[in-house]
Amino acid sequence: MEWSYLALLLCPLMMLPMVFLMLRGNKSDSNSKQDHESHLIEQLAELKRQNEVMQKELREMKGNEV
């Protein structure tokens, strides 16, 4: 077998492990993205709760001024 044929076969054979590693890496990224997204949702809920408390306090303060 000539070396040129070996070189032609080497390229596609090397692509298989690369594709496998890239797909495996993307799965772990999606898990961390989901964790980050859930953390942001929790933070947003906490900020909304704080906003409601502050609005209530503000209404009470305005009611005491009259």
Question: Which pLDDT tens digit goes with each residue over 37-54?
Answer: 999 999 999 999 999 999
Residue 12, pLDDT score: 82
| CA dihedral sign, ordered 19, 20, 25, 29 | positive
Q: How far is CA 9 from the centre of its chain?
A: 38
Half-sphere exposure of 34 (CA within 13 A, CB side): 6
Q: pLDDT category, 29, cuts 50, 70, 90?
A: low
pTM summary value: 0.50
pLDDT tens for residues 8-21?
Answer: 888 888 888 888 88
